Amino acid sequence: MTAPRMWFNGRPATLDDVAALLTTNYGHFTAMQVRNGRVQGLQRHLQRLQDATRALFASDLDLERVRAWLRAAVGNADASVRISVYSQAFDRDHPLRSVAPDVLLALAPPRRIDAASLRVCSMRVEREAAQLKHLGSFDLFHQRRQAQQLGFDDALLVRADGAVAEGSVWNVGFCDGRGIVWPDAPALDGIAMQVLKAGLAELGVPQSVRRVELTEVGGFGGAFFTNSTRAVMPLAAIDAAPFALDPAWRELLERALASQPWERP
């Protein structure tokens, strides 16, 4: 695969097909890595798409058709896939009207973040409709850009009241020596995080979801980044607080991840 390919409702996309996506920019998406035609957490990706379609368009998504389109597009390949849902029938003046969703499936070469660890800085930002993976990503990449201007790799989003929420396009987890702590501030329920949680639960690893204050992060024994392009990556620092994730904890996280199946569409 040398260039991205796009499919609209199961057929090759045209410029007219994506016009509503470009001009209105109202919708949602999920992004996944495909290996040998398989996706880890596929059912979770599909459920995310269904839930957001109901929330934004008051309609249902035909998930069997989406699976068939994905299956036909990827075959047995390795790829990065982004499935965007929007509607050519969406009326900006009457956004409460139920409209049928349209699906744009975009394929690109497989992607993986190669960094060994990340240094991140806190940014006081609260993402709009944080529970949705919506199309408005300007602020997330802008925060990453600002972080890099300050000499860091990425941004950690923190609420005005000091509660840690999530990274720019990733979730954050902390190791407290006994188990994993996940912040409970409003954030996207990332698929990689969901997969990790399921794997850790099967291994019997203690997990808690609670308020995490920015002022307390230096007291954790380790912190890590998780998203679809890199399910487990240690954080080397948050602001001035350094971390050194115990190799045993990293191995446990990797084992939890590996325990979860890769599914064919």
22-36 pLDDT, tens per residue?
Answer: 899 999 999 999 999
- Is 42 a residue whose pLDDT tops 90? yes
Which pLDDT band holds residue 66 (cuts at 50, 70, 90)? very high
Instruction: Answer yes or no: are the C-beta atoms of 167 and 125 closer than 8 Å.
Output: no
Looking up tokens 């923190």 gives 158
Integer Rg of the chain from CA: 19
Residue from 70, 82, 81, 73 nearest 29 by CA: 82
Q: Distance between CA 87 and CA 155 in Å, rounded?
A: 32
Q: What share of the chain is helix, strand, coil (3-state, %, to 5)?
A: 30, 30, 40
Interior angle at CA 227, CA 238 and CA 235, nearest 5: 20
- Does the pTM of the predicted model rise above 0.75? yes
Residue from 158, 171, 151 nearest 235 by CA: 171
Amino acid letter for position 257: L
**DSSP type of residue 261:** P
Element (H, E) at 223: strand 222-227
Sign of CA pseudo-dihedral 18, 169, 212, 122: negative
Per-residue pLDDT of 113-141, as tens digits, reads 878 899 999 999 988 899 999 998 898 99
